[in-house]
């Protein structure tokens, strides 16, 4: 019989957090609808797509985190743990088994297999090689926008545009999320979030804030590593955690560009207010400081020097299965804890509750986020089960347990 491995949060000297969709939760139905219509508007006004299909009401049933876009064929696909394509749609047209095998006789595509074999290397190439994987709630709308754009060019006989669609979507994502557009107040996304934060953010409960304070008062060093740019992250943290959000953490890194943060040696920039200012040397990191870019190896040394132990244990908590779970665990044997809201939306693995945004997190078309069929894990379910110590639907859920509560590890 396999021995159960137990652990508690008090076992760790240092606990790190991602920000977006981890400590900072969103009202996902509103967020995803905003992203979808900004992208549709961009394709219509700046890339001259007809709008009759793109401007239809959002179809949440076509959405699922983890879908893959195959821009060679105009398909959206779901993959199993070994990268096999288990279901697919051409545009929004669902493919039956025979049609799927016409596209994929072996059920495999090379770029998907390459990703499954080495997701870190594939992701570090993403700026040159067009990342096609939907990893979080900021790109979950890509699949529907892409599929409807395929429907559009085929219905209007604009077949020459079929190979341009994915690049147009990449351009749109840059238009929405590039850091310069935060400061220029353009791109649609940042201006709307700033005007109506109450529509898109959920505030942290007092129980979560008390839990963070208790962790810190217990002698555990807390750190924040977020991929968000300094300006947008500052607004997110201030609204969700509170104006004194910096006080909870011993060091804060924005614009971390994960997974590269854990694999590369990048310079640090100091952050003052909403902006990056100047490069600093590694020995200039300070307690309570806020920085941008940087690298894990230096942050690890900084945190180790703050600890009483010469060999501190680290835990990192985040939602992105590649950036926050797989990479730190594989690259530096950091224990990771996965936050996955689909657990509550699907009531998967015995988690109870009713997620308020269940309509955009659970699909009867694609099936479970965690499984490719009734008993076989999807690729994302495989990563979650094998590379996180445990998984929970939210920080709120985790904060209900005492710090010395003993969890049973996934790795038992």
The CATH number for 392's domain is: 3.40.50.1000
What pLDDT shows up at residue 126? Answer: 53
Domain range spanning residue 189?
28-195
Look up the pTM and report it.
Answer: 0.95
- 272-290 pLDDT, tens digit per residue, is 877 778 899 888 999 999 9
Q: How many domains does the chain have?
A: 2
What pLDDT shows up at residue 283? Answer: 87
In a domain, 1, yes or no: no
What pLDDT shows up at residue 281? Answer: 86
Domain boundary at 195, 230, 259, which? 195
349 and 373, same domain (yes or no)? yes
Give one DSSP letter per residue of 15-32, joined into a string.
EEE-TBTTTBEE-HHHHH
228 and 242, same domain (yes or no)? yes
Rounded to 10 deg, the angle between the 142-155 and 165-177 helix axes is 140
174 and 226, same domain (yes or no)? no
Domain boundary at 156, 176, 195, which? 195
316 and 388, same domain (yes or no)? yes
167 and 274, same domain (yes or no)? no
215 and 360, same domain (yes or no)? yes
What pLDDT shows up at residue 8? Answer: 96
Residues 6+ apart with CB under 8 A from 265: 295, 297, 298
What pLDDT shows up at residue 373? Answer: 85
Q: Tell me which residues of the chain have a pLDDT lower than 50.
A: 1, 127-129
131 and 260, same domain (yes or no)? no
Domain boundary at 139, 166, 195, which? 195
In a domain, 76, yes or no: yes
In a domain, 88, yes or no: yes
Q: Where are the beta strands (DSSP E) in 294-341?
A: 314-318, 335-339
- 237-275 pLDDT, tens digit per residue, is 999 999 999 999 999 999 999 999 999 999 999 998 777
What pLDDT shows up at residue 236? Answer: 97
**How far from chain centre, in Å, is Cα 64?**
13
Q: Are 201 and 24 in contact (CB under 8 A)?
A: yes
What pLDDT shows up at residue 159? Answer: 79
């Amino acid at each position: 019989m396999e021995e159960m491995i137990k652990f508690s949060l008090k076992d760790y000297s240092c606990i790190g957090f991602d920000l977006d969709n981890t400590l900072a939760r969103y009202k996902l139905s509103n967020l995803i609808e905003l992203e979808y219509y900004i992208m549709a508007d961009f394709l219509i006004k700046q890339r001259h797509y007809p709008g009759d299909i793109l401007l239809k009401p959002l179809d949440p049933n076509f959405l699922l985190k983890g879908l893959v876009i195959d821009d060679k064929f105009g398909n959206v696909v779901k993959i199993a743990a070994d990268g096999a394509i288990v279901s697919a749609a051409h545009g929004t047209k669902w493919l039956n088994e025979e049609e799927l095998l016409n596209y994929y006789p072996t059920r495999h595509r090379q770029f998907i297999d390459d990703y499954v074999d080495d997701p870190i290397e594939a992701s570090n190439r993403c700026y040159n090689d067009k990342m096609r994987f939907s990893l979080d709630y900021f790109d979950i709308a890509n699949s529907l926008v892409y599929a409807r754009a395929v429907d559009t060019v085929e219905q209007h006989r604009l077949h020459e545009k079929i190979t341009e669609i994915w690049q147009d979507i990449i351009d749109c994502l840059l238009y929405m999320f590039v850091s310069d557009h935060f400061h220029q107040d353009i791109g649609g996304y940042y201006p709307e979030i700033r005007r109506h934060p109450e529509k898109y953010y959920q505030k942290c409960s007092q129980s979560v804030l008390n839990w963070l304070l208790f962790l810190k008062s217990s002698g555990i060093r807390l750190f924040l590593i977020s991929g968000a740019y300094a300006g947008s992250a500052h607004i997110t943290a201030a609204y969700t955690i509170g104006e004194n959000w910096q006080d909870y953490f011993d060091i804060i890194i924005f614009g971390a560009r994960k997974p590269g943060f854990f694999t590369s040696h990048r310079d640090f920039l100091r952050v003052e207010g909403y902006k990056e200012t100047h490069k600093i040397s590694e020995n200039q990191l300070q307690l309570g400081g806020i920085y941008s870019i940087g690298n894990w190896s230096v942050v690890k040394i900084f945190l180790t020097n703050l600890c009483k132990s010469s060999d501190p244990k680290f835990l990192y908590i985040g939602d992105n299965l590649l950036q926050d779970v797989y990479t730190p665990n594989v690259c530096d044997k950091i224990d990771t804890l996965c936050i996955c809201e689909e657990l509550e939306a699907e009531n998967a693995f015995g988690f109870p509750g009713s997620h308020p945004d269940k309509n955009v997190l659970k699909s009867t078309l694609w099936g479970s986020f965690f499984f490719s069929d009734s008993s076989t894990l999807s690729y994302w379910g495989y990563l979650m089960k094998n590379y996180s110590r445990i998984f929970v639907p939210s920080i709120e859920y985790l904060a209900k347990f005492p710090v010395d509560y003993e969890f049973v590890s996934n790795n038992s």
